[in-house]
Amino acid sequence: MNVMRIGKINLNQHIATSIEKFSQNGGEKVSNYVNAAGKAVIAPLVIMHNPFTKEDEDNRKWASIKQPVEAVITLAMQLVSLGLLYKGIDSLIKKGKINFKYVENASKDISKIPEKILKACNYDYEKALSMYKKQYNEIFKDRLGAIVTTITYLPVLAVSNKIYPKIAEKIVNKKKNENKSAQ
């Protein structure tokens, strides 16, 4: 019984640690992963097994196929665009082309750095300033990432609307042919 409990605690701790690490990768990236997972797995299941619909099975299959196709296209396009955006921002930050007023003020006056950051860095001013700057850079990238994600939404829909009918037709027709040959 104790072994079972210890295993459960270790599993729970592992899950909690994994979720924490996953969430530290940035808000927009996490949002994209969760959205894609929902579209790829949950949405097709809901469409296929919806007890309230009067659609026939072929129409439900057709509609459910669009979700994972769109999820893959969305994830690919958004991650590529976010990767390029973040790389560009990092390059501009390194060159000193992007600066934040709060960070500049904090570099002149230690009292401008939040106490929480100072405490986390054991009041090491250089380390605290570096952490403060990193936080601002990440927030900036995340906000621009949200804008880029929004902008890529229409091209994603256009591409998925071109691709998914071809995939859906192959899958639905293949299953129809398999069903006919099995009878």
Using a cut of 0.85, tell me whether the model's pTM lies above it: no
CA distance 165 to 154: 17
- Whether the CB-CB separation of 160 and 66 falls below 8 Å is answered with yes
The per-residue pLDDT for 179 is 58
Ordered per-residue pLDDT tens for the chain, 183 residues = 444 455 556 777 777 776 666 656 556 677 778 888 888 888 888 888 888 888 888 788 888 888 888 888 888 888 888 889 989 999 998 898 888 888 888 888 888 888 888 898 898 989 988 898 888 888 888 888 888 888 888 888 888 888 888 888 887 776 665 655 555
130-150 exposure pattern, b = at least 16 Cβ within 10 A, e = fewer? ebbbeebbeeebbebbeebbe
Strand boundaries in the chain, DSSP class E? none
H-helix or E-strand spanning residue 6 = helix 2-23
CA distance 152 to 35: 14
Give rounded-to-5 percent helix, strand, coil for the chain: 85, 0, 15
Would you kindly state where each structural domain of the chain is located, as residue ranges?
Answer: 25-182
Sequence-distant (≥ 6) Cβ neighbours of residue 138 within 8 angstroms = 26
- Whether the CB-CB separation of 149 and 78 falls below 8 Å is answered with yes
CA distances from 38 to 35, 126, 134 (A): 5, 42, 31
The per-residue pLDDT for 58 is 78
Q: 159-164: which pairs have CB atoms within 8 A and are 24 or more residues apart?
A: 159/73, 159/77, 160/66, 160/69, 160/70, 160/73, 160/74, 163/69, 163/73, 164/65, 164/66, 164/69, 164/70
